[in-house]
């Protein structure tokens, strides 16, 4: 019977007058195309994010020119659409660097024990270095961030941080309670974050004005812009970006496959190697595959999905693409774990038409040496507008504990009452997503990292 399979396939193809060899070849190219799309998704998304966030003449709002810090003075609100799944727990200090010409110098002041971290992402979204309270302490620090091909001598007193790509995104986070007093204290520290090119090391550096490109779409969310690209546009950009942002050595097997559809590091995309009929199906198929990976992305406990495979991905390309899609800029697990939930404890999708409670027994709130919070997002992973401009619930809200020491959080569209609003996480009227953040999660039991602490499920309690 086994020997009859090829014969039967030949008979079927002949009867239907189908070019079987062509179909087989196209199927292989389509599969490679989807793999290539998934593989390149972080780099393409980073480039579109960079374009949007740096397309200004001077730092303003959530944007800053290349090579300059954007110091966010307050937490993002529901209008913020530059990055999916933003946080409202720490003040961002972000900067985009191009290391192709020269290194950049980063100086950090004494932090006075304030929690902070300064993760540095490569063009492929891997966190290659992360100065911060957990790793380097809160003393004054100075670094030279160098590109993959840079060779030279650095001034004394600088610690070299070698980036694997010329594109670098510094996605700094500084803890702040959000009160006027702590905003002021945090701003004083952040204003001392210093960034300048190596050539300006011994000068009084004044950052030049940025160049504004009117053709950059500043309104459409980045993910939507990326998803609108057809396969030729997508792969043309990917090949261009790979010239300055080379693949890792471990990527050799997939790079060999990509060559079959015209993607070769250091060269322009050869679109003739990808048939138009095949190319037409690639983006949607790949996007579906990326988002469909959510259920397999990590542990699934009580309706919460989380992973310790973030920040550094190796050859887990689908995992990397999913994190890019729903949480661009994710940290290493030692710095943060992000349990995410789309369903309640009974497996039913969340809806703002219902009321929910999340109950923590005494002493079992999320174990973190930094802090924890729970954030509300709509179905597209953006903040939900609400009368209180409240997007998270965390200990900084002066949570009200029950008499037995347990804690109830109220997740619903309408206020549960003034006496419970400290514990309220406002929801939209329709679908929503919850994301818990444990910054610097405790590594000794109970710990989410080793599984000895598990997030409790969210229970529906009414309509």
Domain harbouring 242, CATH code:
1.10.3360.10
State the CB neighbour count (10 A cutoff) for residue 118: 23
Query: Does any domain span residue 1?
Result: no
Report the distance separating Cα 377 and Cα 41, nearest Å.
22
Q: Which domain holds residue 132?
A: 56-200
Last residue in a domain, options 263, 294, 325: 294
Does the residue 245 lie in any domain? Answer: yes
Q: Does 205 map to a domain?
A: no
3-state secondary structure of 333: coil
Tell me the C-alpha distance between 354 and 119, whole Å: 38
CA atoms within 13 A on the CB side of 122: 25
Considering the domain architecture, whether residues 144 and 239 belong to the same structural domain is answered as no
Same-domain pairing of 308 and 428:
yes
The domain boundary residue, chosen from 150, 165, 200:
200
Residue 303 lies in a domain: yes
Of 243, 337, 193, nearest in space to 47 by CA: 243
Same domain, residue pair 127 and 242: no
Cα–Cα dist 215/417, whole Å: 48
Burial of 132 (0-12, 13-18, 19+ CB in 10 A): buried
CB distance 216 to 223 below 8 Å: no
- Which residues, in sequence order, are CB contacts of 195 under 8 Å at separation 6+? 67, 68, 69, 95, 104, 105, 106, 107, 170
Cβ proximity of 409 and 357 under 8 Å? yes
Kindly state whether residue 70 falls inside one of the protein's structural domains: yes
> Residues 42, 77: one domain?
no
Domain-ending residue, one of 200, 235, 256:
200
CATH of the domain at 90: 2.60.40.1610
CB 448 within 8 A of CB 386: no
The number of distinct structural domains making up the chain is: 3
How far apart (Å, rounded) are the C-alpha atoms in residues 198 and 19? 60
Taking the C-alpha atoms of residue 47 and residue 245, their distance in angstroms, rounded to an integer, is 11
Whether 434 is in a domain gets the answer yes
289-335 pLDDT per residue, tens: 999 998 787 888 999 988 888 999 999 999 999 999 988 999 999 99
d(CA 373, CA 439): 9
Per-residue pLDDT of the chain (463 residues; tens, 9 = 90+): 444 333 333 333 444 444 556 667 789 999 999 999 999 999 999 999 999 999 999 999 889 999 999 999 988 889 988 777 888 999 999 999 999 999 999 999 999 999 999 999 999 999 999 999 999 999 999 999 999 999 999 999 999 999 999 999 999 999 998 889 999 999 999 999 999 999 999 888 999 999 999 999 999 999 999 999 999 999 999 999 999 999 999 999 999 999 999 999 999 999 999 999 999 999 999 999 999 998 787 888 999 988 888 999 999 999 999 999 988 999 999 999 989 999 999 999 999 999 999 999 999 999 999 999 999 999 999 999 999 999 999 999 999 999 999 999 999 999 999 999 999 999 999 999 999 999 999 999 999 998 999 999 999 998 8
User: CA–CA separation, 4 vs 1, rounded Å?
Assistant: 5
In a domain, 4, yes or no: no
Burial class (CB in 10 A: 0-12, 13-18, 19+), 340: buried
| CATH of residue 370 | 2.60.120.600
């Amino acid at each position: 019977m086994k020997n009859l399979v090829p014969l039967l396939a030949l008979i079927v193809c002949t009867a239907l007058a189908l070019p079987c060899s062509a179909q087989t070849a196209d199927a292989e190219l389509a599969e490679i195309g989807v793999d290539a799309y998934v593989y390149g998704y972080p780099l393409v998304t980073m480039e579109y994010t960079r374009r949007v966030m740096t397309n200004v003449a001077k730092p303003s709002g959530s944007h800053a020119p290349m090579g300059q810090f954007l110091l966010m003075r307050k937490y993002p609100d529901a209008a913020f659409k530059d990055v999916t799944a933003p946080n409202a727990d720490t003040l961002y200090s972000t900067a985009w660097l191009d290391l192709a010409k020269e290194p950049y110098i980063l100086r950090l002041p004494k932090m006075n024990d304030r929690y902070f971290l300064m993760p540095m992402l490569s063009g492929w979204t891997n966190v290659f270095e992360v100065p911060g309270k957990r790793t380097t302490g809160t003393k004054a620090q100075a670094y030279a961030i160098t590109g993959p091909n840079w060779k030279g001598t650095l001034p004394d007193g600088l610690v070299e941080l070698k980036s694997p790509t010329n594109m670098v995104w510094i996605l700094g986070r500084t803890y702040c309670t959000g009160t006027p007093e702590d905003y002021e204290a945090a701003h004083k520290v952040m204003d001392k974050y210093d960034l300048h090119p190596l050539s300006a090391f011994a000068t009084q550096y004044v950052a030049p004005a940025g160049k504004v490109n009117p053709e950059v779409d500043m309104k459409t969310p980045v993910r939507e812009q990326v998803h609108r690209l057809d396969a030729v546009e997508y792969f043309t950009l990917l090949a261009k970006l790979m010239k300055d942002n080379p693949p890792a050595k471990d990527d050799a097997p997939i790079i060999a496959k990509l060559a079959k559809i015209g993607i070769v590091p250091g060269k322009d995309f050869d679109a003739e190697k990808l048939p138009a009929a095949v190319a037409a199906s690639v983006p949607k198929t790949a996007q579906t595959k990326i988002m469909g990976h959510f259920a397999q992305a990590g542990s699934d406990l009580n309706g919460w999905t989380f992973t310790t495979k973030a920040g550094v991905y190796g050859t887990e390309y689908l995992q990397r693409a999913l994190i890019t899609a729903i949480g661009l800029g994710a940290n290493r697990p030692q710095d943060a774990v992000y349990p995410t939930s789309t369903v309640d404890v009974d497996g039913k999708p969340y809806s703002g038409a219902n009321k929910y409670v999340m109950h923590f027994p005494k002493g079992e709130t999320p174990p973190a040496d930094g802090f924890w919070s729970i954030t509300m997002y709509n179905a597209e992973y953006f903040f939900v507008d609400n009368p209180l401009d409240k997007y998270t619930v965390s200990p900084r809200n002066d949570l009200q504990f029950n008499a037995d020491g347990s804690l109830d959080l109220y997740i619903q569209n309408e206020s549960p009452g003034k006496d419970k609003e400290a514990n309220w996480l406002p929801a939209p009227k329709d679908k929503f997503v919850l994301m818990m953040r444990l910054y610097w999660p405790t590594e000794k039991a109970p710990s989410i990292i080793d599984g000895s602490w598990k997030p409790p499920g969210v229970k529906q309690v009414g309509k």
